[in-house]
Chains A and B, each alone.
Chain A
Amino acid sequence: MDAKDILGLPKAPLSLPQEKKSRPPKDSQRKPDGISREVYALTGGIAPLMPAIDISQWKRRAQSENQKEYALKISTTLTLPLQITWQWLPFTSSARKDNLQLYHWVRVVNGVPPTGDYSFAKYNKSVDVIKYTDEEYEKYLTDPTWTKEETDQLFDLCQQFDLRFVVVADRFQSSRTVEELKNRYYSVSRALLTARAVSPADVSGHPLIKEPYNLSQEIERKRALSMVLSQTKHQERRDAEVLAEAKRISESRMAAKASVFFLFFSLILAVQEPEFPVTLRVDPEIAGDSSPPNIPYPSGTVAPPVAETASVSASLRMLRVYLRTYALEQMVQAASSSAGLRTIKRVEQTLQDLGVNLKPKVPTKAVCAEHLELRKEILTLLNLQKQ
């Protein structure tokens, strides 16, 4: 409010937000009275921090402006020559073939009714269904699977229903599928276009010629669509999983240099998946001579932590490259696999109480080994305490 002192304006009461105590504090940003909401929004919506004008003065000014506006309106209607009345008048529409005359309310200005066509007539669109003579039919349009009567009826219905094939199919005498009807309609139209054209080049740009209707493809497409629509959630999920797996496999394929490496890679991928048990014997030369052979870890049985971490280290050795933190995660998971979720939480709580980071900040080989040992010791301690 120092700025106000500087400007020499009297201190604004700014009592509006304070008076209305029942309103929430957010209302300090409410628009001041005396000015319409939309106009206020034009100026940015929120009151300026430093109102340039004293608010009470503003209020008075705004009110007087409103009064002036209203006075203007009244005066013009009474004095200016702008007379508006509403009359019940007849009208016709160019969209109708008969000369039906209907009535509606019309806004008449100074005694002059509006001219022009019915405003909605322009929306009466129709399709140009091609028409053929009998001669043309004999020459170009005969088909073993369609009689002339059927074709005639098809075209009549198409004209009547603006190419709404589903309706046409419903009304059609003999039972034909929508695709068959479409096929007949489009091939007849196409044949007629080509026949009537001066030269084939003329019509080559026409969409009917450029992209001809393909019956078998359409049937297949619709079948596939309905299959997708009727898929259960379970199937959807399975499809997504298979696609993701395929993507992963094809990506790893691209990284391979030769077919030998490719084989190795797909096996490595299998090992990296946490769910996959380590039962693979990749290359006897690589995995074979070191001390413990791969211990198969059949799912369902609970192997002791020692055996599990040994199998994890064996599986890690089969990777080409990995991060120390990844190795530690795998080891921790293996060591805690026999423990329930609550026990694991208690291990983590103990670590925190001891002032140790749950994930080592400096995961060197030694640090990770110590961390793992510490976790195992805590686990043993907790298990002993339970007994």
Chain B
Amino acid sequence: CSNKRVKDSEICVPIVYGSMSFWLGKKATESQSHKWTVYVRGATNEDLGVVIKCVVFQLHSSFSNPVRVVESPPFEVSECGWGEFEIVISLFFRSDVCDKQLDLYHHLKLYSGDESIPQSTKKPMVVEYYNEIVFPDPSKDFFSRVHNHPATIVPRLPGALNLPLVALEDVLEKKKGDTKDHPLSQWFFNFSEADELLALAAARQQV
């Protein structure tokens, strides 16, 4: 079983998950005051379908069919409601990637909690978290399949290994599941690694 894995390496998938909610303003009713979307996307809006088979969003039990299974990107669920609650986001990966699921927890935020700021129907309440899914010692199939794919960070292969590498063109021809043209993409956060690194380096100098 071990010779099927690329040892001493890891494949990393940067993701962003969270929620975006719009106040419905005049159209708001008591039970449906906001329209919100909970989602998982690639951090650079690339297609996560190469890695993720499906995502299960577990909503509050007061929603009908609270367990929502999304089998293709964009991995998101949109609903109307009035309440804030914790959503369990379970990621299921493709068979050559990993057979264990990964759970994320996100608290749906609709209200700013600051009464002095009025709600606007144009500007949504966005809460996003950046994280990276790490697959240590990935399988060779997985490795060769995604090594060129922009959704993943794959280290350079050690010279000795000979793997059939999927050509970049083939990868791009596959169905576009990325979120670059997502209607709400203007609101996505820009997670800049550089900023954080700079801050950390400066701090280390001081210490």
Task: Give the chain A neighbours of B201 by CB distance below 8 A.
Answer: 370
Q: Which of A327, A362, A373, A374 has the most CB of B within 10 A?
A: A362
Complex CA distance for A365 and B9, rounded to whole angstroms: 13
Complex: chain B residue closest to A355, CB-CB: B199
A367→B5 contact, CB < 8 A = no
A361→B99 contact, CB < 8 A = no
B137→A317 contact, CB < 8 A = yes
* Residue-wise interface mask of B (139-177) relative to A, using a CB-CB cutoff of 8 A (1 in contact, 0 not): 000000000000001000000000000000000000000
B207→A316 contact, CB < 8 A = no
Complex CA distance for A177 and B32, rounded to whole angstroms: 61
Complex CA distance for A378 and B4, rounded to whole angstroms: 41
- Interface size class on chain B is 35 or more
B204→A255 contact, CB < 8 A = no
A283→B2 contact, CB < 8 A = yes
* Contacts A257-B99, A321-B133, A362-B193; A373 near B8 (Cβ below 8 A): no
Complex CA distance for A247 and B120, rounded to whole angstroms: 45
A166 to chain B, nearest CB (A): 42
Complex CA distance for A325 and B192, rounded to whole angstroms: 16
Q: Contact partner of A370 among B131, B191, B197, CB < 8 A?
A: B197
* Contacts A290-B8, A317-B137, A321-B133; A261 near B200 (Cβ below 8 A): no
A374→B204 contact, CB < 8 A = yes
B132→A373 contact, CB < 8 A = no
* Contacts A320-B100, A320-B135, A363-B132; A373 near B204 (Cβ below 8 A): yes
B7 at the interface (CB under 8 A from A): yes
Q: Contact partner of B131 among A265, A290, A323, CB < 8 A?
A: A323
* Contacts A321-B134, A324-B134, A364-B14; A255 near B99 (Cβ below 8 A): yes
Complex CA distance for A378 and B203, rounded to whole angstroms: 10
A367→B200 contact, CB < 8 A = yes
A184 to chain B, nearest CB (A): 48
Complex: chain B residue closest to A350, CB-CB: B207
A202 at the interface (CB under 8 A from B): no
Task: Give the chain B neighbours of A356 by CB distance below 8 A.
Answer: 199-200, 203
B44 to chain A, nearest CB (A): 12
B57 to chain A, nearest CB (A): 17
Complex CA distance for A261 and B131, rounded to whole angstroms: 27
B132→A321 contact, CB < 8 A = no
Complex CA distance for A290 and B9, rounded to whole angstroms: 11
A363→B130 contact, CB < 8 A = yes
A207 to chain B, nearest CB (A): 36
B185 at the interface (CB under 8 A from A): no
B126 at the interface (CB under 8 A from A): no
Complex CA distance for A227 and B133, rounded to whole angstroms: 48
Complex CA distance for A367 and B130, rounded to whole angstroms: 12
Complex CA distance for A367 and B12, rounded to whole angstroms: 14
A362→B191 contact, CB < 8 A = yes
Complex CA distance for A221 and B73, rounded to whole angstroms: 53
Complex CA distance for A1 and B14, rounded to whole angstroms: 60
A354→B206 contact, CB < 8 A = yes
A268 to chain B, nearest CB (A): 8
Task: Give the chain B neighbours of A364 by CB distance below 8 A.
Answer: 14, 132, 193
Secondary structure type dominating chain B contacts: mixed
Task: Give the chain B neighbours of A257 by CB distance below 8 A.
Answer: 99
B117 at the interface (CB under 8 A from A): no
Complex: chain A residue closest to B5, CB-CB: A286
A360→B99 contact, CB < 8 A = no
* Contacts A362-B191, A364-B193; A323 near B132 (Cβ below 8 A): yes
Task: Give the chain A neighbours of B132 by CB distance below 8 A.
Answer: 323-324, 363-365
A126 to chain B, nearest CB (A): 47
* Residue-wise interface mask of B (1-34) relative to A, using a CB-CB cutoff of 8 A (1 in contact, 0 not): 1100101100010100000000000000000000
A312 to chain B, nearest CB (A): 13
Task: Give the chain A neighbours of B131 by CB distance below 8 A.
Answer: 323-325, 363
Task: Give the chain A neighbours of B197 by CB distance below 8 A.
Answer: 366-367, 370
Task: Give the chain A neighbours of B98 by CB distance below 8 A.
Answer: 320-321
Complex CA distance for A318 and B137, rounded to whole angstroms: 9
Task: Give the chain B neighbours of A325 by CB distance below 8 A.
Answer: 131
A321→B135 contact, CB < 8 A = yes
Task: Give the chain A neighbours of B62 by CB distance below 8 A.
Answer: none
Complex: chain B residue closest to A323, CB-CB: B131
Complex: chain B residue closest to A368, CB-CB: B132
A264 to chain B, nearest CB (A): 9
Task: Give the chain B neighbours of A365 by CB distance below 8 A.
Answer: 12, 132, 153
B36 at the interface (CB under 8 A from A): no
Complex CA distance for A378 and B195, rounded to whole angstroms: 21
Q: Give chain B interface residues in 99-140, CB to chain A under 8 Å.
A: 99-102, 104, 130-137
Complex: chain B residue closest to A365, CB-CB: B12
B37 to chain A, nearest CB (A): 22
Known: A268-B100, A316-B134; 13 extra A-B contacts, CB below 8 A, are: A286-B2, A290-B7, A318-B136, A320-B100, A323-B132, A354-B203, A363-B132, A364-B14, A367-B197, A370-B200, A373-B204, A374-B203, A374-B204
Which 7 pairs, one residue from A and one from B, show the smallest C-beta to C-beta distance?
Answer: A285-B2, A324-B132, A354-B203, A370-B200, A320-B100, A317-B136, A362-B191
